Amino acid sequence: MTRDDEQNGRDVALQGGAQPDTGTRGRERRFALPRDGALVQRLRDGDEAAFADLIRAYHGRLVRLALSFVDDHATAEEVVQETWLGVLNGLATFEGRSALKTWIFRILVNKAKTRSVREARMVAFSDLGDADSEGEPAVDPARFTADGRWADPPRRWADDTPEALLLRREVREHLEQAVQSLPPRQRVVLVLRDIEAMSAAEVCGILEIAETNQRVLLHRARSVLHRAMDSYVSKE
Amino acid sequence: MLTCKELTELVTDYLEGRMNFGDRVRFRLHIGMCAHCREFLRERKLAIQTVGALPLEPIPEEVRQELMEKFRDWKRG
Q: Where in chain A is the domain with CATH 1.10.10.10?
A: 130-234
Burial class of residue A117 in the structure, from the number of CB atoms within 10 Å of its CB (0-12 exposed, 13-18 middle, 19+ buried): exposed
Tell me which CATH code domain A3-118 carries.
1.10.1740.10
CB of A225 less than 8 A from some CB of B: yes
Among A187, A213, A222, A227, the strongest candidate for a mutation testing the B interface, having the largest count of B CBs within 10 A, is: A222
Residues of chain A contacting residue B72, judged by C-beta atoms under 8 Å apart: 48
Report whether A12 contacts A201 (CB < 8 A). Answer: yes
pLDDT tens, N- to C-terminus, chain A (236 residues): 444 433 333 333 333 333 344 444 444 445 667 678 889 999 999 999 999 999 999 999 999 999 888 878 899 999 999 999 999 999 999 988 888 999 999 999 999 888 866 665 444 454 444 444 556 899 999 999 999 999 999 999 999 999 999 999 999 999 999 998 898 889 999 999 999 999 999 999 999 999 999 999 999 999 999 999 998 888 65
| A229–B5 C-beta distance less than 8 A | no
Residues of chain A contacting residue B17, judged by C-beta atoms under 8 Å apart: 13-18
**Beta-carbon contacts of residue A181 (< 8 Å; ≥ 6 apart):** none
Report whether A189 contacts A221 (CB < 8 A). Answer: yes
Mean pLDDT to the nearest integer, B23-50: 97
| B58–A60 C-beta distance less than 8 A | yes
User: Does the ipTM surpass 0.90?
Assistant: yes
- pLDDT of A8: 37
For chain A, where are the alpha helices, taking DSSP H only? 6-11, 25-30, 36-44, 48-66, 73-90, 100-118, 162-166, 169-180, 184-190, 200-207, 211-233
Give me the architecture of the A130-234 domain, per CATH.
Answer: Orthogonal Bundle (1.10)
| A137–B16 C-beta distance less than 8 A | no
Q: What's the pTM value of the predicted model, to 2 decimals?
A: 0.82
Burial B29-54 (b: 16+ CB within 10 A, else e): ebbeebeebebbbebbbbbbbbbbbb
CB of A142 less than 8 A from some CB of B: no
User: Which region holds residue A46: left if phi is over 0, alpha if psi is between -120 and 50, else beta?
Assistant: left
Instruction: Convert the pLDDT of each residue in A110-161 to its tens digit.
Output: 998 888 666 654 444 544 444 445 568 999 999 999 999 999 999 999 999 9
Q: Where in chain A is the domain with CATH 1.10.1740.10?
A: 3-118
